Amino acid sequence: MSAALNPTLEPIYEEVLRRNAGETEFHQAVREVLDSLGAVIARHPEYADARVIERICEPERQIIFRVPWVDDAGTVQINRGFRVEFNSALGPFKGGLRFHPSVYLGIIKFLGFEQVFKNALTGLPIGGGKGGSDFDPKGRSDLEIMRFCQSFMNELYRHLGEYTDVPAGDIGVGGREIGYLFGQYKRITNRYESGVLTGKGLGWGGSQVRKEATGYGTVYFVDEMLRGNGHSFDGSKVIVSGSGNVAIYAIEKVHELGGTVIACSDSSGYVVEETGIDLNLLKEVKEVRRGRISEYAELRGSSARYATEGSIWQVPCDVALPSATQNEINAEDAQFLVKGGCRAVGEGANMPTTPEAVKVLTDAGVLFAPGKAANAGGVATSALEMQQNASRDSWTFDYTEQRLAEIMRSIYDRCAETADAYGTPGNLVLGANASAFIQVADAMLALGVV
């Protein structure tokens, strides 16, 4: 585990543990930020005096609700829905919805907490929130997905609004689900409020590049980090874990920048292909057939090796982009990465690297890009979608991508400069946490005790 906390922060963390018992992912996310804040409060005692840190660790509002629906066999199913409205100092609550059986309050709170800082880093006017359900979309028919989304929105709609709370997708929630959610919102409210959800389809209020943005943005960020240290993606071997929306578009951008993605995965196994993953086939399997990575491997035949034993991180690579889910790289995996010659890790997913693994990597001199900075391109482009909706406009792909690239560059500069200012050059974890915290904390101080 990490070193002892600053004595001012220790009781704050103890209180977070006490009042959020059993929510281990939330504890982990808070701890990681607090580890960076000792240096900040030494320079800015006003934050501690006004108890801003305690306030930032407590969501503004937490909504938990029953989601009843009827499956194709006519059986009544009951799921649990969540929306944690974490912090609105910088703008309306903003953050995705995750549909996955592992979802419980602790996961949504960790994601919501991260989102507050991530959204601040974009420099755009968005607060942080997150929601979702323990609903498992795997194997469900289109009609079941639609009925579930409609029931979920029957409760959620009353908490949303262009100026209040604007959800989007996350794991298990993509364009199809956003469509069903938006349709039900529109029906209940009798209002075509495009700005109430992001990640919409291109024909009905969505933004160009939103689908690609998290993956592209992660690669842009890591590219900046590599260049800042005399490297680049060109000619590099890259592993991208996962095979969902983030992974697919990270692979696309790595290939555009001259790297080769040699492995990707899903929750059942991973595929290794030294000559490079065939992106068109991967898109066909995942986006059209909604299939598994094992199907991809079968269709590729002998050029691809499919494995269910061991871990994807045992494959030697130059750059690793964990883009599947939280805590997917543990200390042992990190040791494999170091041994395999990996020089940079960029988090496409939220909190995919355990604190112990981050230590193994950074002790070994591996460049490390934390998710709340590296994967902020998705939510940044959501904010661009909100801008377009508010002005009833729509921008071209090229213009939107250029905006995304600028945002990612400025996030990198901001994190790197803050790391320098605190005497820890290259420590982007500290740079991201300190810089985002200061922005949110200053806004909270200005707005008073609310």
Q: Of 170 and 401, which CB lies nearer to ligand GLU in the complex structure?
A: 170
d(C-alpha 358, C-alpha 352), whole Å: 10
Secondary structure (DSSP) of 308-329? -SS-GGGS--SEEEE-S-TT-B
Secondary structure letter of residue 196 according to DSSP:
G
Which residue, 198 or 325, has its beta carbon nearer to ligand GLU? 198
Rounded CA separation 375/404 (Å):
11
Q: For residue 356, what are its two tokens? A: 């112990």
Matching residue, tokens 């059942």: 268
Q: Compute the least distance from the CB of residue 411 to ligand GLU, in Å.
A: 13
Q: Contact with ligand GLU (CB under 6 A): which of 250, 379, 407, 441? A: 379
Q: Taking contact as CB under 6 A, which single stretch among the options 133-141, 374-382, 388-396, 426-434 is the one that binds ligand GLU?
A: 374-382
**Out of 94, 200, 286, 343, which residue is the one contacting ligand GLU (CB under 6 A)?**
94
**Region from 262-270, 328-336, 377-385, 436-444 binding ligand GLU, contact rule CB under 6 A:** 377-385
Question: Of 11-19, 46-54, 91-99, 432-440, which part binds ligand GLU (CB under 6 A)?
Answer: 91-99
- Minimum distance, C-beta of residue 58 to ligand GLU, in the bound complex (Å): 21
- Long-range residue pairs from 412-421, CB within 8 A, at least 24 positions apart, any chain: 412/221, 412/224, 412/225, 412/228, 412/373, 413/224, 414/121, 414/123, 415/121, 415/373, 416/228
User: Strands 61-70 and 76-87, how do they pair?
Assistant: antiparallel
Residue 39 beta carbon to ligand GLU: minimum distance, rounded to whole angstroms: 26
Provide the pairing of β-strand 128-133 with 76-87. Answer: antiparallel
How far apart are the C-alpha atoms of 89 and 86, rounded to whole Å?
Answer: 10
DSSP conformational letter for 288: I
Q: Which structure tokens are listed for 105?
A: 């309050």
Q: Does 95 bind ligand GLU (CB under 6 A)?
A: yes
The pairing of beta strand 305-307 with beta strand 270-272: antiparallel
Least distance from C-beta 86 to ligand GLU, angstroms? 12
Helical pair 210-228 and 245-256, crossing angle rounded to 10 deg? 50
Question: For ligand GLU, which is the closer residue by CB, 28 or 311?
Answer: 28
Each residue 45-84 as x (binds ligand GLU by CB under 6 A) or -, in order, gives: ----------------------------------------
Smallest distance, ligand GLU to C-beta of residue 178, A = 10
Burial-class residue 113 by CB neighbours within 10 Å (0-12, 13-18, 19+): buried
Nearest distance in Å: CB 379, ligand GLU: 4
130 counts as catalytic: yes
- Shortest gap between Cβ of 298 and ligand GLU (angstroms)? 31
Q: Where are the alpha helices (DSSP H) in 229-354?
A: 245-256, 279-283, 293-300, 331-339
**Sites for ligand GLU among residues 108-127 (CB under 6 A):** 118
Point out the residue whose Cβ comes nearest to ligand GLU.
Answer: 96
The three-state secondary structure class of 264 is strand
Figure out which of the listed residues 84, 89, 168, 334 binds ligand GLU, where binding follows CB under 6 A: 168
Judged by beta carbon, residue 111 or residue 238, the one nearer ligand GLU is: 111
217, 259, 378, 431: which one binds ligand GLU (CB under 6 A): 378
Among 23, 35, 165, 170, binds ligand GLU (CB under 6 A): 170
Q: Closer CB to ligand GLU, residue 314 or residue 382?
A: 382
Question: Shortest approach of ligand GLU to residue 322 CB, angstroms?
Answer: 14
Nearer to ligand GLU, 312 or 374 (CB): 374
- The answer for residues whose C-beta is within 8 angstroms of residue 269's C-beta and 6 or more apart is 293, 294, 306, 307, 308
Q: Which of 6, 20, 198, 325 binds ligand GLU (CB under 6 A)?
A: 198
Where does this chain touch ligand GLU (CB under 6 A) — which range of 14-22, 287-295, 375-383, 406-414? 375-383
CA angle 47/49/50 to nearest 5° reads 70
Among 243, 326, 354, 382, binds ligand GLU (CB under 6 A): 382
Residue 406 CA to its chain's centroid (Å)? 19
Q: Which of 109, 118, 130, 211 is catalytic?
A: 130
Residues that bind ligand GLU (CB under 6 A): 94-96, 118, 168, 170, 198, 350, 378-379, 382
Residues with catalytic roles: 130
